[in-house]
Amino acid sequence: MRDHDLPARERRNRGRRRFDDDEQLFLKRGRAAGPAPADPDAEPDPETGDSWSSWDDAVQGPQPHPDWLVTELAARDTELGVLKTGKEADVHLVRRAVPGTDRSCLLAVKRYRDPQHRLFHRDAGYLEGRRVRRSRENRAMAGRTAFGRQMIAGQWAAAEFAALARLWEVGIRYGTISVPYPVQVRGTELMLEFLGDHDEGLAAPRLAQLRPAAGELRELWGQLVDALVVLARAGLAHGDLSPYNLLVHAGRLVLIDLPQVVDVVANPQGPEFLARDVRVVATWFAARGLPAADADPAELTALLLREAGIR
C-alpha cells in the first residue's frame, strides 16, 4: 500500500439496477420552499424569506472549522433554490451571511422528506447493524410507524453526518479521500460544504456527466481506489456508490450521498454492498476506456475485504 494511506493502526481489525435511483432532476435556481422549521425563532422573515442561522442549535462539524464557514450567530440563511431532488431527500442551495458585512458562504442543505412521503424503499438491508438503545424505538422502526419512520430518517441524517465527519478528518490528515465538509446536522436536515462555482451557484459536475480523456480517467480511478481503501480500513462501504454520487471538483474526486453507509462487518450484507459498489463504478470506468486489467472488480473487491479485516 502507499505510504500516505491510512495507517494500519486505524483499521478496524475485525475478522444494477440503474447507477442511482435518485431522480436525476436538476431544477433551475429560484426560491425554494423547504420544510417548515421546528423552531419558531427560525421562521423565515415574511419580507425577505431569510431565517436566522441554526448553527447554535445544531450538532456542529469537526474542528477546527474551516475559515470559509460562517459561524456567527447573527448570520441569516437565504434560500437560493434546489440543487437536486430525490426520492428520499432534496438538496437546496443556501447562502449564510452576516448582514452588513462581507462574511458569507454557500451551503448545500440536504432535507429528508416528510415521513408520509419518504420512499426509503431499500432501507431494511442498510439498517442492519444499526440499533438504538430503546426497545420502543426499535419496535417503531421495525413496524414503520410514523414515529418509526421519523426515527429512521434521523438515523440516515446522523449516519451520513458521522461518516462525513470521520472521513473529512482522515482526508485532512492523509489526503487520500475527499468529502464535503459536514457543517451541521439538525434533526433530518444536514448542511454541507457547497462544492462548485460560488459566483454562479453551480454545483460541481458529477462523474456521470463527464467524458474524461485517458489520462484523467486513469487519475480519477486511482483517486477512487485510494478512497475505497480508506473506507474499507474504517470498516465501511459507501453502500450505493455510482458515478452519480461522485463529484469532480478542482481535479479531485469527491464522495457524496453517504446516508446509507454500511458497516461491512456488523451488517451481514456488508461484503455484498461493498462488492456491488466496486462492480458499478468499475463498469462505468471500463465503459469509458479504462483497461480491464486496471479496473478488475474481483481483484479490487478482494483487496478491500482484506483491508476491512474480513478475509
Q: Provide the residue type at 270 as one letter.
A: G
Tell me the C-alpha distance between 310 and 31, whole Å: 48
CA angle 55, 58, 59 (to 5 degrees): 120
Q: Is 189 helix (H, G, I), strand (E, B) or coil?
A: strand
Q: Which of 123, 257, 263, 277 is catalytic?
A: 257
pLDDT of residue 50: 85
Q: What was the pLDDT predicted at 56? A: 95
3-state secondary structure of 152: helix
74/6 Cα distance (integer angstroms): 39
Nearest-angstrom CA–CA distance, 305 and 224: 16
Intra-chain end-to-end CA distance of the chain, in Å? 17
Q: What is the pLDDT of residue 34?
A: 39
pLDDT of residue 8: 46
- pLDDT of 146: 53
Q: Which domains does the chain have, with CATH numbers?
A: 40-203 (3.30.200.20), 205-307 (1.10.510.10)
**240 is known as an active-site residue:** yes
Please give the pLDDT value at position 43.
Answer: 61
Cβ neighbours of residue 98 under 8 Å, at least 6 residues apart?
A: 70, 72, 74, 75, 76, 104
pLDDT (tens digit, 9 = 90+) per residue, 81-125?
A: 999 988 788 999 999 999 999 999 999 999 987 555 444 444 545
Q: What is the SS3 assignment for 220? A: helix
pLDDT the model gives residue 141:
43
pTM of the model: 0.78
* pLDDT value of residue 13: 43
Sites in the chain below the pLDDT cut of 70: 1-49, 114-154
Cβ–Cβ under 8 Å, residues 55 and 184:
yes
Of the chain, the percentage scoring pLDDT greater than 90 comes to: 64
Catalytic residue among 22, 77, 226, 240: 240
Largest Cα span, the chain: 60
pLDDT at 156: 83
Give the tens place of pLDDT for each residue, 278-297: 999 999 999 999 998 899 99
